[in-house]
Chain A
Amino acid sequence: MSDDDAEVTAWALAAGRGDREAAARFIRATQQHVRRFVAHLISPAEADDLTQETYLRAMRSLPSFAARSSARTWLLGIARRTAVDHVRAATSRPRTVPLSEWHDTPDTRGSGFDGEVVLNDLLLALPADRREAFVATQVLGLSYAEAAEVCGCPVGTIRSRVARAREDLVVLVEGNPRSIRRRPGSAAG
């Protein structure tokens, strides 16, 4: 556990005892982490909602948080479960958004996000277990051991999922050699 993690964990423990100031610090220190995690697991559009829901769940569980792992990985584990539940609820609901909306929506993003958009799309094409392993280790920079805590699986599983995710991405990028460059252009035109 790094110094930073130890500090965050201390805030989490204090927050669990009812210290609101510590709870605020805990949220401020971790929210971008959580947001990026759920954004890449589900979608950036739903990141805010999912982040908030993650924290509401976390705040309720805080009194029983025993710091067996760092508060950061504990929180990301809750974020992951929130994402899992979200996918489950979304797939059991009938879709109401007409498909044409797909094509009519102009791309209003700044060009700085193009690479992210494409890569995010590529990530969403990965099987969910590989995606979460890849996002946890590459985007959030967690170690394999931390990612294993977040996903609730053995370290070896994370290792092979990350490798598979890389294989998939290599194939996806090679398979669409222009995909990295083409998307922004076509969206603008």
Chain B
Amino acid sequence: MGCEQWREILSAQLDGEETPAERIAVDAHLDGCTGCRDWCDRAATVTRRSRLALSGPAPAHGQRRRVVPGPDLTDAVLAALPAPRRLRDRLVFALRTGLALIGALQLVLGLAQVGRGPAAGHAHGALDTLTSGHLWHESAAWNIAVGAGFLFVAARRTPTSGLLPTLSAFVGALVLLSANDLVTGRVEPARLVSHGFLLTGYLIVVALSRPRLRPDGPAGRDHRDRPAWRLAAHDVPTATPPLRLVPPHVGSARIRDRSAA
């Protein structure tokens, strides 16, 4: 084994990273090698000096070290971050949960409607039972569709605006017709209560498709005017290209720091 390898062990020993076997072996080598003994002394001196000069005394919690203590960057970093996510995320979660419940309820109501058939008291006046029965089923199908749509929106994390045109037209028409039917006495107010779920679900879908509440919403887009550095998935420290050597003549940066300090 050459002296270079012994010196690697000596270096590890200075950091307390040598194995017990290595310690014994290197002690034996030092007994017979003045070169390595000498090197070990110098390496220890350089190490001590570096630690002292570069890291200074290390106070508890590393708050104010002597070397390069800079301004507290906490506020600057937090200010550059997207709006508080916590509140927004909670709100979105609550809305989606609510929508899922309403969707499930709507679905169950629709299915129950299919099984039950039109109630006798509900038969719409002059219509014969055949037409009335089919209209009943058609309305059940709509209830099922809307329930399924709500569940779909609640389950997805992506923007939900795709359902909006159909839902808006449906809810709008239903509200107008219900108001009309209420005035002309063609529907009991109790029947309209079930539309309340539909309306609530619709409003939640509208809220969820607002840009501020989208998962990939403007949070990431607020800072377009900032210097563009991007964070890709590989920026997480797994890939490890080597640092390139800065040649000694690239000294302007170091000089600037001298005047800045």
Contacts and interface: CB of A to CB of B under 8 A. Distances in A.
A164 B145 CA distance: 70
Interface residues of B, number: 71
Contacts, number: 233
B47 interface: yes
A187 B245 CA distance: 25
A57 B226 CA distance: 14
Given A129-B243, A138-B50, A48 B231 contact: no
A27 B74 contact: yes
A77 B63 CA distance: 20
Contacts of B49: 115, 119, 180
Interface residues of A, number: 99
A6 interface: no
Given A45-B260, A47-B70, A152-B239, A20 B84 contact: yes
B200 interface: no
Interface string B116-148: 000000000000000000000000000000000
29 contacts: A18-B85, A18-B86, A20-B78, A28-B72, A31-B73, A32-B65, A35-B70, A36-B68, A43-B256, A43-B257, A44-B257, A51-B73, A59-B77, A60-B231, A77-B236, A77-B237, A80-B243, A84-B241, A95-B250, A101-B256, A102-B252, A106-B259, A128-B243, A129-B242, A138-B47, A138-B51, A140-B55, A169-B46, A173-B42
Interface of B: 7-8, 10-12, 14-15, 17, 39, 42-43, 46-47, 49-55, 58, 61-74, 76-78, 80-81, 84-86, 89, 229, 231, 235-246, 248, 250-261
